[in-house]
Amino acid sequence: MRNLRLLSVAATVLLAAPAAFTQSLDSAGPPITDFFFHENEDGSIFAADSNGTYYFATIQDYIQSPFFQEHGMHCGSDRLPQFESLGTTSDCSSSNTNPASEYNPGGGQSYNINVVFHILRRNNGLGEVSDALIASQINVLNADFAGSGISFTLAGTTRSNRNSWYNDSGNYYGSLSWDVTKYLNIYTNQAGGNLGYAYVPSGGGVVGSSFDRVVLYWQAVGTNAPIGPPYNQGRTATHEVGHYLGLYHTFQGGCATASAPGCYTSGDLICETNSESSSFFGCGNRTTCGSSDPTDNYMDYTDDLCMNNFTSEQVNRMRCTLDNFRVDLDGGPLPLPGPASSPSPSNGSSSASVNTNLSWSAGSNATSHDVYFGTSSSPASQGNQAGTSFDPGTLATSTTYFWRIDEVNSTGTTTGTLWSFTTESGGGGSPPGQATSPNPRDGRRRVKTNKDISWAAGTGATSHDVHFGTSDPPPFIRNQSATVYDTGLMLSGTVYYWRIDEVNSSGTTTGVVWSFTTR
Catalytic residue numbers, as ranges: 240
Q: CA-CA distance, 173 to 177, in Å (whole number)?
A: 5
CA triple 115-116-118, angle to 5 deg: 145
47: number of Cβ within 10 Å: 23
Tell which phi-psi region holds residue 342, choosing left (phi > 0), alpha (psi between -120 and 50) or beta. Answer: left
Q: What value does the CA radius of gyration of the chain take, rounded to a whole number of Å?
A: 24
For residue 106, give every residue at least 6 positions away whose Cβ sits within 8 Å of its Cβ, in sequence order, or none. none
Burial of 192 (0-12, 13-18, 19+ CB in 10 A): buried
Q: Are strands 507-509 and 495-504 parallel, antiparallel or unpaired?
A: antiparallel
Q: How far apart are the first and last CA of the chain?
A: 22
For 303, the enclosing helix (H) or strand (E) is none
CA-nearest of 137, 173, 169, 170 to 158 is 173
| φ, ψ of residue 224 in degrees (nearest 5) | 55, 45
Q: CA-CA distance, 446 to 460, in Å (whole number)?
A: 33
Q: CA-CA distance, 360 to 349, in Å (whole number)?
A: 15
Partners of 297 in the beta sheet? Answer: 309
Report the SS3 class of residue 237. helix
59 close to 37: Cβ distance less than 8 angstroms: no
Buried/exposed code over 136-169 (b: 16+ C-beta within 10 A; e: otherwise): bbbbbbbbbbbebbbbbbbeeeeebbbbbbbbbb
Report the SS3 class of residue 142. helix
134 close to 188: Cβ distance less than 8 angstroms: no
Partners of 479 in the beta sheet? Answer: 465
